[in-house]
Every structure is written in C-alpha cells, then in structure tokens.
C-alpha cells in the first residue's frame, strides 16, 4: 500500500500548495499581506526489503516571506509621515490666518493706527482725527483678536482631536492583544497562523499612524507594544491610555498617560498624536507666545505713555479702572515693579500740588494702594476699590492727573517766602516759575542754591553779585545762573534762564517787592520723565488706551471709545502740546527689548515669516520621509509582495504535480490489478 500512500501524500501536498497559491493571488492587492510559501519535505523513509524507501511528501508548514527589520522601519516611517501631516495641516491653517506675510493685514493695521496718532498730534482738536485714531485702534485690536482666536482654537482642537484619537489607539491595542492570544494558542498547537500574523501586523501599522510605538517579539509569535514608557500591549493584556494637560509654567502641555495614573508624558512623538503633542506644546505654543508678546508689548508701551497724559478733555474728576482678578501687586499682569506713582491735584483756584504714592511688590495690594491714593488732599473719600475696580474721585472743584515734567513752581512755591528772606512786604522773595517740557530720560530732583558775594549778603534780583547753582540728583552741576547785576527779572526772553533738559527758570517781582534772595537759600525742582515708575496705573486700567493682557483680549479702552477727547495727546503741565501723541506714534518704529530689539511691525513680519519657514521645513521633511517610505515599500514588495506571473508559474507546477500524482496512483492501481489477476 506504500504506492498509494506516496500518491495520496503528493495529492494532498499539491492541493495544499495550490490553496496557498490561490490565497496569495486572492490577497495580491491586500494592504499588509505577506506572500506565503508551502514548505514541503519528504516523509520519513521506511526500511523494507533491505532498503530505505521514501514514503512521499508532507507539508512542513507555511512560510511567510517577511523581513521583520524592514517592516519595523516601515512602521517608524508611517508614524513620522502621519506626524508631519498633522503638523502641516495645523500650520497651513495658521498661515491662512496670517494672510500674506510681509504685507499682512495686521501689519497694515499697525501702520494705520500709528500714522493716525501722528496725524492727531498735528491736529489735536480735530474730532475727525480723534475718531480716526479710535477706529484704527479698533481695527488693530479686531485683527489681533482674530489671529489670537485662530491660534487658541488650534490649541483646543489639538486637545479634542488627541482625546478622540487615543480612543482609537486603545481599541487597536485591544484587537492586537486578542490576536496575540489566538496566535499564541494556535502556534502551540502547531497550526498555521500566517494570516493572523498579517492581520496583527496591519493593526500595528494602523496604530503607528496614530501614535509612535515600539514592538518587541516574544515566543509563540506574541508581540508586545510600547508607547513612550507605557506597555500598552503585554501578551493578551492591555493598558488603556488617556491624554490630558499638565501645567508647565504659565502654560498647559498636552501629554499621554496610562489611564487613571495622571503621569503625562509630554514628549510622545510619532503618528497623529505625536503631531498634536508637538503642535500644542511647541509649534502652536511658540506662535501663541510670540503673538501674545506682541499684543502685550503694544498694550504696555502705549498705556505706559497714555496713563501719564491728558487729552483735549483735560484733567480728570473721576477715573475707573478695569475689574481685577488679582489684587496682589506682585501677580498683576501687565507686571508691576517697585516704584512710585506721582499724582497732580489742582484745586478750584488753579493751585497745583504733586503727591507721591509708593508701590512695592513685597507688600502692596490693590486695596492698600487705593487707600494711599484716597489719603491725598483734594481726592474724595469715594476713592477706593469697588467691585474689583480701582476708582479715583476728586472733591468738587478739584481735578487730578498724572502729567510728568516739572510743576510751575518749585517746592515751597506758592506758600510763603524762602527761609531767611528780608522782612516786610517790600523785601519778600521773588516769584519763581518753571517753564518748558522736561526731556530727560529719568526722574530728576534738582537742588538750586543761592550764593552771593560777599557771602551772607541779601540782594534784590538784578543787583549785586548773586548766582544760582543748579545741581542734579547725581550731584552734577548742570547750570550756574546769574541773578545779580545784569539779570532782568520777569518772564520775557532775557528773564528766562534755561538750565537742563528743556527746563528753564524765571524770577519775577512779588507785589511791591522786586524779589530778594539771601546767600545760601535753597529750593528744589522735581522733574519727572515717568509719573508712574511702577506700572501700577496701566496694570489696573487707569487712564489707559488699551485694555487686555494678550492677543485674544486686547481692546480699546471704553473711555476712549466713548470720548475721543480722552486720547492723551499732551504730557506737559501747560497741557498745550502734542508730545504724548507723538511719543505713542513713534512706538511703531521703535526697537523694543521685549520684541527682541525689533519694532512691532518687524516683529510681526518675523513671526509670520517664521510660520512660512516652518511650513517649508515640514514639507521638505515630509517629502524626505515619503521618499524613504516608498523605497521601503518597494523593497518589501520585492520580499513579501505577490508577483502574479510567479504565482501563475507556481500554480502550473503544482497543477502538473497533482496530475502526475493522479497518473501515478492510476499506474499503481493497474499494477495491483495485474498482480491480482495473476493470482486468481
């Protein structure tokens, strides 16, 4: 019966091989399918008649044509390509929001605003120019908020999409684990699992498109899958993943964690989730930070000047800031530093006094500063904090402002004679007036000292040998002014004595007295370049032009929208200049340290160009990754792909083998029939 067994084994082997060829042909277009080959081997020989006789052929299994290292590299490239696709998708959306780069709408809006402010400086009383400044600022704020909204929405979308995608990752992990269990069980029992291996490999590839993974093959064809530092598939067991936000300084980073643990890995790379993590934590964050920096710098720089000036509406009888969520000075945004607020108060008779309020980050609060301001003479007791908003109110007949420069009278004027002046109305000290706009860069206190020859003398203005020495706060003598012989008292050209940084002194008669001065007499002149060195007023919204703290919240202050006369064009005590409007207009062309030494328009163009450059870089990276991927796919096709012609040739071989074995069995049958006939 050995001949029959040999023939039957050949028939079975040929049929099985044909089945495998058919399976290959059927899956020629199936993604991830690896070509299979029938492994045939001779059956064990049998010793008979003094010889070992072969017993035919048997299946030794099915071999997958696979290069595991090649397949692993394809998985890595799949993950890289999907990450780049997601990054490019978001960056392209962002670029569309920025419009054209060098001539973008926002850049033009900044030009229009600063140009309008410059035009207003030349026509301060023109209500049309005031409206132009206000509308230009509104346009600038709208565009800035729109861009901020685009970036902010991309951050939100990244989180939402990551949460959805991680669910797909968990489903795939469960499917891989289930296949692991089946594959292991069938492998142990000696069954062919080639098709299951292909199914699992395809699931692993799908997972790599969602998130970067590492795979580790173990016994019995089991594969473990690791994401970051979490083993999501361990044999037939799974660990579900979740995404969430983790605080990183002032930001919240997107990360991946094992479900329920809350230990988020913010450096997960690869796949769509890797792209989303990279976008939110790096690419979008960088653009968002720069855009917020631009917005906050514009707010700070414009408000820093605006709070110190006044518009055509003049000084204030009431000002109200915006609602503060943070009352601790050290935590306010824009940031507040240690410094001093100088407030000018004018009474009904026109007398002006200046008062200082100290602000410290160590102990000041919104309420404590409000209390110090309320204690200033001439301000109403209603000054304080109301519903989280600082409110400064003047008494009836009084006004206040924060104009810098120098007061018209030095310390002690008006209010009494200089110490030691001659007795009697006919020997009263002179009237002293300070004129000019202070152009110094820092706050300064000048000390003015009278000296006479001979020492200890008393002289009237324009008589004897008398000088006034002016020394700045650094102890440097900035002027020595002649008040003796040859000086013409009064406020005409000859009587006005320039002494430093745009400021001048003039001395005049005091009633019947020509004005007397004694040797050694002193008075001080306080000249301010900045009437709020702390930045407190801008932080709480007092007399500001802009409100907000970033690109999504920047807006024109309500008072400016309602009354163009509140646009602070002037910063001199006479309130007859346009220096403040000019200074604000110049911000547009000023290199600012907060903007890396660039002016606002150049900083924005650099930001927009960075987005374009990032897109260009990502496209090159994507092209390179796709090129590598295509090369790997071609190599895998050579190793694992189904060649229709080759399979047809294989099919012909096994078909003929089947036919030959059938003829062989037929021959054996005839032989047996002949033998049986001879025996009968």
| H/E stretch holding 353 | strand 352-359
In the chain, domain spans: 2-65+647-679, 71-295+606-629, 406-528
CA angle, corner 424, sides to 420 and 430, nearest 5? 60
**Rounded average pLDDT over 320-337:** 92
Partner residues linked to 556 by β-bridges = 546
- Sign, CA torsion 476/478/484/490: negative
pLDDT at 491 over 80: no
Angstrom distance (rounded) from CA 568 to CA 628: 62
* Number of residues that make up the chain: 680
- DSSP bridge partners of 365: 328
Contact 172, 207 (CB under 8 A): yes
Q: How confident is the model at residue 255 (pLDDT cuts 50, 70, 90)?
A: very high
| Residue 81 pLDDT exceeds 60 | yes
pLDDT for 109 beyond 80: yes
pLDDT in tens, 381-438: 888 899 999 999 999 999 999 999 999 888 755 434 444 445 455 788 898 999 888 9
Residue range 111-135: average pLDDT?
93
Cut 0.75: pTM above it: yes
Helix (H) or strand (E) holding 282: none
| pLDDT of res. 97 | 67
Rounded CA-CA distance 441/528 in Å is 9
| Structure confidence by residue, pLDDT tens digits, 602-649 | 998 888 888 888 888 889 988 998 999 899 888 888 888 888 888 888
Q: Look at residues 240, 248, 280, 245 and name the one whose alpha carbon lies nearest to residue 264.
A: 245
Average pLDDT for residues 445-468, to the nearest whole number?
94
pLDDT exceeds cutoff 50 at 27: yes
Q: Which of 89-98, 222-231, 633-642 is least confident?
A: 89-98
Express each pLDDT in 501-549 by its tens digit. 999 999 988 888 888 999 999 999 999 999 999 999 999 999 999 999 9
335-377: pLDDT as tens digits: 999 999 999 999 999 899 999 999 999 989 999 999 999 999 9
Better-scored residue on pLDDT, 62 or 320: 320
Question: Between 8 and 360, whose confidence is greater?
Answer: 360
Report the pLDDT value the prediction gives residue 614, as an integer from 0 to 100. 86
pLDDT value at 195 more than 70 = yes
Three-state DSSP at 366 gives helix
Q: Is the dihedral of CA 21, 22, 23, 27 positive or negative?
A: positive
Taking all residues of the chain, what is their mean pLDDT, rounded to a whole number? 89
- Say if residue 662's pLDDT is above 70: yes
C-alpha dist (Å) from residue 597 to 264, 449, 587, 589, 593? 37, 42, 12, 11, 5
pLDDT in tens, 568-594: 999 888 888 899 999 999 999 999 999
pLDDT of 221 strictly over 80: yes
Kindly state the percentage of the chain with pLDDT values over 90: 56
Query: Six-digit token pair at 198?
Result: 């292909």
pLDDT band, residue 199 (cuts 50/70/90): very high
Model confidence band, residue 147 (pLDDT cutoffs 50, 70, 90): confident
Statement: residue 471 has pLDDT above 90 = yes
Helix ranges restricted to H, 38-126? 68-98, 105-122
Q: How confident is the model at residue 168 (pLDDT cuts 50, 70, 90)?
A: very high
Identify the pLDDT of residue 547.
94
- Eight-state DSSP code of residue 545: S
Separation in Å, CA 456 to CA 87, 451, 481: 82, 8, 18
Rounded to whole angstroms, the Cα distance separating 322 from 330 reads 17
């Amino acid at each position: 019966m050995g001949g029959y067994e040999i023939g039957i084994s050949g028939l079975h082997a040929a049929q099985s091989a044909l089945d495998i060829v058919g399976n290959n042909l059927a899956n020629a277009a199936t993604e991830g399918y690896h070509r299979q080959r029938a492994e045939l081997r001779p059956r064990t020989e049998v010793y008979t008649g003094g010889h070992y006789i072969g017993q035919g052929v048997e299946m030794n299994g099915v071999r997958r044509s696979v290069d595991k290292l090649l397949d692993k590299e394809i998985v890595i490239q799949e993950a890289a390509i999907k990450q780049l696709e997601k990054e490019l998708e978001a960056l392209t959306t962002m670029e569309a929001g920025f419009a054209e780069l060098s001539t973008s709408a926002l850049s033009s809006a900044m030009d229009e605003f600063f140009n309008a402010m410059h035009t207003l400086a030349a026509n301060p009383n023109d209500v049309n120019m005031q409206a132009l400044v206000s509308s230009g600022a509104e346009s600038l704020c709208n565009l800035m908020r729109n861009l901020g909204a685009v970036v902010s929405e991309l951050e939100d979308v990244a989180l939402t999409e990551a949460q959805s995608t991680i669910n797909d990752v968990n489903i795939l992990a469960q499917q891989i684990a289930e296949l692991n269990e089946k594959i292991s069980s069938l492998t142990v029992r000696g069954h062919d699992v080639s098709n299951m291996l292909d199914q699992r490999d395809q699931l692993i590839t799908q997972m790599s498109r969602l998130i970067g993974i590492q795979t580790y093959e173990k016994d019995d064809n089991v594969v473990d899958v690791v994401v970051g530092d979490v083993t999501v598939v361990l044999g037939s067991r799974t660990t579900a993943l979740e995404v969430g936000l983790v605080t990183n300084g002032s930001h919240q980073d997107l990360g991946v964690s094992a479900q329920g643990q809350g230990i988020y890995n913010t450096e997960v790379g690869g796949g769509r989730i890797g792209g989303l993590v990279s976008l939110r934590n790096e690419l979008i964050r960088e653009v968002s930070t720069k855009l917020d920096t631009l917005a906050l710098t514009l707010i700070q720089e414009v408000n820093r000047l605006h709070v110190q000036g006044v518009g055509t509406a003049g000084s204030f009888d009431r000002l109200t800031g915006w609602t503060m969520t943070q009352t601790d000075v050290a935590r306010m945004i824009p940031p507040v530093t240690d410094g001093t607020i100088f407030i000018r108060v004018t009474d009904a008779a026109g007398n002006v006094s200046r008062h200082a309020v100290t602000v410290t980050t160590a102990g000041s609060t919104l309420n404590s500063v409000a209390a110090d301001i309320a204690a200033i003479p001439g301000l109403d007791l209603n000054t304080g904090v109301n519903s989280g908003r600082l409110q400064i109110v003047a008494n009836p007949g009084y006004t206040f402002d924060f104009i810098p420069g120098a007061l018209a009278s030095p310390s002690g004027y008006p209010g009494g004679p200089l110490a030691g002046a001659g007795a009697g109305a006919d020997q009263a000290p002179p009237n002293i007036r300070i004129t000019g706009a202070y152009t110094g860069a820092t706050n300064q206190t000048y000390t003015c000292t009278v000296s006479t020859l001979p020492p200890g003398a008393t002289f009237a203005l324009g008589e004897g040998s008398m000088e006034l020495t002016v020394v700045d706060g650094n102890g440097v003598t900035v002027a020595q002014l002649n008040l003796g012989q040859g000086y013409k008292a009064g406020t005409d050209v000859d009587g006005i004595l320039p002494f430093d940084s745009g400021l001048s002194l003039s001395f005049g008669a005091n009633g019947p007295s020509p004005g007397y001065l004694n040797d050694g007499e002193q008075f001080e002149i306080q000249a301010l370049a900045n009437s709020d060195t702390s930045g407190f007023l801008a932080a709480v919204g007092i007399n500001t032009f802009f409100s907000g703290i970033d690109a999504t919240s920047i807006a024109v202050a309500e008072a400016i929208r309602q009354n163009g006369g509140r646009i602070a064009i002037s910063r001199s005590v006479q309130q007859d200049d346009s220096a403040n409007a000019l200074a604000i207009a110049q911000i547009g062309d000023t290199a600012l340290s907060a903007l890396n030494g660039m002016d606002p328009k150049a900083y924005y163009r650099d930001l927009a160009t960075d987005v374009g450059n990032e897109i260009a870089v990502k496209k090159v990276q994507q092209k390179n990754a796709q090129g590598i991927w295509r090369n790997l796919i071609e190599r895998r096709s050579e190793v694992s792909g189904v060649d229709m012609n080759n399979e047809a040739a294989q099919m012909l071989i096994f078909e003929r083998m089947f036919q030959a074995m059938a003829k062989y069995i037929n021959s054996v049958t005839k032989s047996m029939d002949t033998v049986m006939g001879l025996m009968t």
